[in-house]
């Protein structure tokens, strides 16, 4: 539930929106490469989900521009080794799937991860995170003056 004194009495973040230049190609990429569950909701939209109740609505936009890196989408995997395996799969599949700007895996903000963009211009981060994603940072409370870039954060989760 949202904070007690908020104006909006929020329950949970239910969805976000991604763009697609070609719904059929996007659906194939999400299902066959990323392993995301997809259903078509209209001639110009899909809904996707993976491992929880949060949904991404994917809307066709043939004039879509590239998503800034700071607005990326994270997909958690089970281990650092799986991040490395996924990185190699992205490199190997770059031409076939239209993937580009593929970074090297690095330790950052308490995780091990890399970023890349898909042919629609959406930015993705593949990362190892402890169980329940970034909730471990959230449970630490405000990190004023420290920030989630502190290299000691990752060590605390290993």
User: What pTM did the predictor assign?
Assistant: 0.84
32: confidence class by pLDDT, cuts 50, 70, 90: very high
Domains of the chain in start order, with CATH, are: 11-63 (3.10.180.10), 65-158 (3.10.180)
Segment (H or E) for 24: helix 23-28
β partners of residue 123 = 117
CA dist., res. 120 & res. 122, Å (int): 6
Read off the pLDDT of residues 77-90 as tens digits, 9 standing for 90 and up. 999 999 999 999 99
Read off the pLDDT of residues 64-77 as tens digits, 9 standing for 90 and up. 899 988 889 999 99
Tell me what the mean pLDDT of segment 94-98 comes to: 97
Read off the pLDDT of residues 34-50 as tens digits, 9 standing for 90 and up. 999 999 999 999 999 99
């Amino acid at each position: 539930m949202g904070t007690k004194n908020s104006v909006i009495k929020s329950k949970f973040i239910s969805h976000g929106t991604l763009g697609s230049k070609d719904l059929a190609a996007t659906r194939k990429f999400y299902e066959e490469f990323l392993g995301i569950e997809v259903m078509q909701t209209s001639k110009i939209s899909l809904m996707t989900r993976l491992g929880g109740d949060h949904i991404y609505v994917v809307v066709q936009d043939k004039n879509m521009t590239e998503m800034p890196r700071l607005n990326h989408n994270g997909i958690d995997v089970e281990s650092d080794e799986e991040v490395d395996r996924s990185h190699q799969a992205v490199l190997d599949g770059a031409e076939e799937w239209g993937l580009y700007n593929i970074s090297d895996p690095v330790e950052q903000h308490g995780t091990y991860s890399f970023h890349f963009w898909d042919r629609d211009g959406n930015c993705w981060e593949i990362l190892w995170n402890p169980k329940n994603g970034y909730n471990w940072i959230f449970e630490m409370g405000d990190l004023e003056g420290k920030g989630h870039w502190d290299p000691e954060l990752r060590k605390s989760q290993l």
